[in-house]
Amino acid sequence: MNDYKHTILCVDDEENILNSLRRLLRKEGYRLLTALSGAEGLKLLEENDVHLVISDQRMPEISGTEFLARVKDEYPDAIRIVLTGYTEVDSITESINKGHIYKFLLKPWNDQSLRLEIKQALEQYDLIQTNKTLHEKILKQNENLERLVQERTKDLEIQNQALELSRAILEELPIPIIGVSTEGSIVLINQGAQALSFNGKSIEIGKELVDYFSTDAEEKMAGVLATNTTQILKRYQISDDVYDIYVAPLSGQFRGKGVILMLR
């Protein structure tokens, strides 16, 4: 069984013209369908996947341009060529302008030229289909990308909500909380920490841990970062109050990037 890449439909009310086309295209590797009228051609189009339609212009029931206009409406992917005589050229110009036909070829034709025109028409068909497939692929990729962006945006919104809730809970905790980066900079304080007094000064984000705490706190922090376990600095005096300071490592994606000080 032949595995044809392209199917061509030839429509002409003269059997001898169809026989000439059969002989011309017999060795070109095309699947060739023929019809003696526009109605018969439309029936073959219903039953077959046709890539190129070649139609005579002067037929008794329907002209070639009228037939190909219907082909365009019902089978827009098919390339459409009309065969015409010199005296009919003006009558098909409007059909070309409206896109009903891809090209017109004059009768009598030159065999070599007709083969070349058919080859180029089918190359045009393949190019259009490739571009169409690529366009559909791009649209599909864009749809997937848009869905991923929407999902990512939703995830970020949830994470932001969780972060805001965490910050609100942190602010309301009844104990002072201080976040310190691995470089020793204070990056987070809650209301409890803001209320502390270090020799009359309030703690500020951006300052260094050593601006408010002794080297004992630094050493504990270094030990926590090294072991990734919570350590306690007992009975640490801040102004007139004494605290146990729990130095806890960060976890998850922030592991090794700092510690949390909880004063009790």
CATH assignment of the domain containing 82: 3.40.50.2300
121 and 201 in a single domain? The answer is no
Roughly how many angstroms between the first and final C-alpha of the chain, as a whole number? 87
* 166, part of any domain: no
% the chain with pLDDT above 70:
96
* 165, part of any domain: no
* 66, part of any domain: yes
pLDDT at 73: 92
Banded pLDDT at 34 (limits 50, 70, 90) = very high
* Residue 56 · residue 12 · CB < 8 Å: yes
* 23, part of any domain: yes
pLDDT at 240: 82
Examine the fold and report which residue of 132, 165, 182 is the final residue of a domain before the chain moves on. 132
179 and 124 in a single domain? The answer is no
Banded pLDDT at 2 (limits 50, 70, 90) = low
pLDDT at 1: 46
Number of domains comprising the chain: 2
60, pLDDT greater than 90: no
226, pLDDT greater than 50: yes
Q: What token pair was written down for 254? A: 């922030």
126 and 179 in a single domain? The answer is no
Average pLDDT over residues 38-66: 92
Q: What token pair was written down for 161? A: 């909500």
Q: Which of 58, 56, 69 minimizes the C-alpha distance to 101?
A: 69
* Residue 261 · residue 180 · CB < 8 Å: yes
Pinpoint the alpha helices (H) of the chain.
15-25, 38-47, 64-74, 89-97, 111-172, 191-194, 215-227
Q: Which domain holds residue 51?
A: 7-132
Q: Which of 221, 246, 251, 223 minimizes the C-alpha distance to 234?
A: 246
Q: 10 Å Cβ neighbour count for 48?
A: 12
116, pLDDT greater than 60: yes
Q: Which of 44-48, 170-174, 188-192, 210-214 shows the lowest per-residue confidence on average (mean pLDDT)? A: 170-174
191 and 240 in a single domain? The answer is yes
Residues paired with 243 in a beta bridge? 236
* 148, part of any domain: no
* Residue 81 · residue 49 · CB < 8 Å: no
94, pLDDT greater than 80: no
State whether residue 65 is helix, strand or coil: helix
Average pLDDT over residues 68-90: 85
**What are the b/e assignments for 220-242, b being 16+ CB within 10 Å?**
bbeebbeeeeebebeebebeeee
DSSP 76-128: TTSEEEEEE-GGGHHHHHHHHHTTS-SEEEESSPPHHHHHHHHHHHHHHHHHH
* 111, part of any domain: yes
CATH assignment of the domain containing 237: 3.30.450.20
Q: Which of 16, 44, 51, 67 minimizes the C-alpha distance to 122?
A: 51
128 and 179 in a single domain? The answer is no
**What digits encode the pLDDT tens for the residues 147-192?**
888 888 888 888 778 777 777 777 778 889 998 998 989 988 888 8
pLDDT at 168: 76
* 90, part of any domain: yes
Average pLDDT, whole number, for the chain?
87
List Cβ<8 Å contacts ≥24 apart for 101-105: 101/65, 101/68, 104/57, 105/54, 105/81
33 and 114 in a single domain? The answer is yes
